[in-house]
Amino acid sequence: MAGLSLRCGDCGALLKSVEEAQEHAELTSHANFSESTEAVLNLVCSTCSKPCRSKTEMDLHTKRTGHAEFADKTSETAKPIDLEKPAKADGGTEESAAGAESSQSEEMVVPEVDQKMLEELESMGFPIARATRALHYSGNSSIEAAINWVAEHEDDADIDQMPLVPMNAKSEDSKIALTPEEMKMKAQELRERARKKKEEEERRMEREREKERIRIGKELLEAKRIEEENERKRILMLRKAEKEEEKRAREKIRQRLEEDKAERRRKLGLPPENPEAAKPATPPVEEKKSFLPVKPVTKAEHMRDCLRSLKQHNKDEDAKVKRAFQTLLTYVGNVARNPDEEKFRKIRLNNPSFQDRVGSLQGGIQFLEICGFEKLEGDEFLFLPRDKVDMAVLNSAGSELNSAINNPFFGVL
């Protein structure tokens, strides 16, 4: 079967004649051609009558113009290829002239593009076929437009094939080629469009960043609220624990007072008090009130005994004794003046200063216990609960200490 086309062995393009093969070789430097029985497609647009030589070219035409109906006239125009280059002759029959005119009307040629922009694209590394195709389909408007076209169509199968257009279309394209002013306006329009697109993208990114800032702000507020709520719960738990500790301390003091009371009755030779018999007689509050007038007198005697014992065990160290009395007077006076301040009602027993002045001397800690202080937390602190602060006892303690400090014969006899 006679060949219907010439196939380029380098790029696979189908060519209708020897002349097309020569032009293709000049443009692409391809030299490997072979005869093929596959006819060159002739898909004619039903709307504008533009012929397309491949499915890819037809798809591009549809994408640019929206024309989607094509008539396949390949079989009508297919004819055996003449491998002999026709000679030029001045004369000829009407039939040969008509045949020449018909072949010329169907001949496909490489479109004309701006040579300066083509050279610039080649210097950037683009193949000549890809650069020619990009400039042709971008309208020879600008380098930017050609590069954008390549970026959008880099996955096309024929991206590196030299574009071909009918010769009459080439002449029409040359007629409507853009002037330098029009090209400049076109480039300006493309730059303006790119600027607007960039501004729109920046506005979109700013909106996204604002949304992110709002979201982070809400999360921070929620985290702060949760932290404050946890802090309130922690403070409530601490207060509850302090109340329970104070309650246990009061109960411990009450038990100790009961034991001291029982011990005093035993020393005085009195029978043990019957709590069941004492309860109906007077309420606990009234019993406390009834003992107030007697309590300071009894405690004052115990205080004098503690101070006298301290003086007698350190009778050769008057300065040390006087310093102990003044330290005890400071503790008692601070509590009497500031009964609500816990720091004045709590003394660390292992404090070096306290041990040197009071703790290491016999009778010093006993004197504070008579004033209402009690040992807590494994005998680490002396603590006077707020509800156990008795101003009468503290005043009596102050009087006894002043007497011991100012009386030079205290504890001598």
Beta bridge partners of 221: none
pLDDT bracket for residue 95 (50, 70, 90): very low
pLDDT digits (tens, 9 = 90+) for 40-50: 888 888 888 88
Beta bridge partners of 65: none
Q: How many CB atoms lie within 10 A of CB 326?
A: 12
List domains and CATH numbers for the chain.
5-82+89-175 (no CATH), 292-406 (1.20.58.2190)
pLDDT digits (tens, 9 = 90+) for 248-289: 889 999 999 999 888 888 887 777 766 554 444 445 544 444
Question: What is the C-alpha to C-alpha distance for residues 150 and 145, in angstroms, rounded to an integer?
Answer: 9
CA angle, residues 357, 358, 360, in degrees to nearest 5? 95
Q: How many CB atoms lie within 10 A of CB 132?
A: 24
CA angle, residues 216, 218, 222, in degrees to nearest 5? 115
End-to-end Cα separation, the chain, in angstroms: 152
Per the prediction, the chain carries an average pLDDT of 79
pLDDT at 104: 47
- Kindly tell me if the per-residue pLDDT of 174 is higher than 80: no
Place of tokens 């007198």: 297
